Amino acid sequence: MKKFLLLTLLFVASFSLSYAQSKVEKEAAAQVLYEKAKAALESKDFVIVPDRYGTVGTNTDDSNFLSYEAAEFVYLQGSIVCNNGYTNRATVNSFEQKIDKKGNITVIMQISGSQITARIEISVRKGSNYADVIVTPSKGETKIFSGEVVPKSQAKYYKRPNVI
C-alpha cells in the first residue's frame, strides 16, 4: 500500500513538473513570435494572411493578404481584405505604432491608391503574433479579419501580377 501511494505521489509530481515546463516553453515560444511580429511591424516589412474574417468565416486562400513592403507601399488583395479582386498598391500617408502598458501593439495607417483609400488598424496582443485587422475604406464596406503577422521573407502568400 505504501509503495502504491509513493508511486502515485511520484507520478503526480512528475506530471505537474512536466506540465509547468511545457507551459513555460509555450510562453517562451509565443514571446519569440511576438518579438518577430513587433520587429516586422517596426521595420514596415510584414504580411498578414487572414485565417478568419468577419464573425464566422475562415480563409484557406493565400491570395487574400495585406502586406507592407519596401517601407513605402501597402498591398491589399482579395475580397476578404478589400472591396475588389485586384492587387491594390497604396501609398502610406501616415503610420503610427503604439505599445500600451501591457505590451499590446496598435498600428494605425492611412493609405491611398488608385482603387482604395482607407484607414487600417492592426492590433496585436502581447505574447502573440496574431493580429486583428480593421480596414475602413472611404467608399465601400469595412473589412475585419485576423491572421498572423510574419516578416515578408517568411510569408506564404500569392501576389497576382495585375498590380494597380
Cα separation, 115 vs 145, in Å, equals: 20
**Do the beta carbons of residue 64 and residue 77 sit within 8 Å?**
yes
Q: Is 73 within a domain? A: yes
DSSP assignment string, 6-27: HHHHHHHHHHHHHHHHHHHHHH
Q: Is 8 within a domain? A: no
- For the chain of 164 residues, list the mean pLDDT of each consecutive stretch of 10: 59 54 81 94 95 80 89 90 87 96 97 94 95 94 94 89 80
Count: domains in the chain: 1
61's grid cell? 486562400
164's grid cell? 494597380
Q: Is 102 within a domain? A: yes
User: What is the pLDDT, as a whole number, of residue 82?
Assistant: 87
Q: Is 10 within a domain? A: no
User: What is the pLDDT, as a whole number, of residue 17?
Assistant: 45
Q: In which domain, by residue range, is 87 found?
A: 34-154
Q: Is 2 within a domain? A: no
Q: Is 5 within a domain? A: no
User: What is the pLDDT, as a whole number, of residue 138?
Assistant: 93
User: What is the pLDDT, as a whole number, of residue 2?
Assistant: 63
Cα separation, 84 vs 70, in Å, equals: 23
Sole residue written with cell 521573407? 153
User: In CATH, what number is assigned to the domain containing residue 65?
Assistant: 2.40.128.410
Q: Is 127 within a domain? A: yes
Q: Is 125 within a domain? A: yes
User: What is the pLDDT, as a whole number, of residue 7?
Assistant: 57
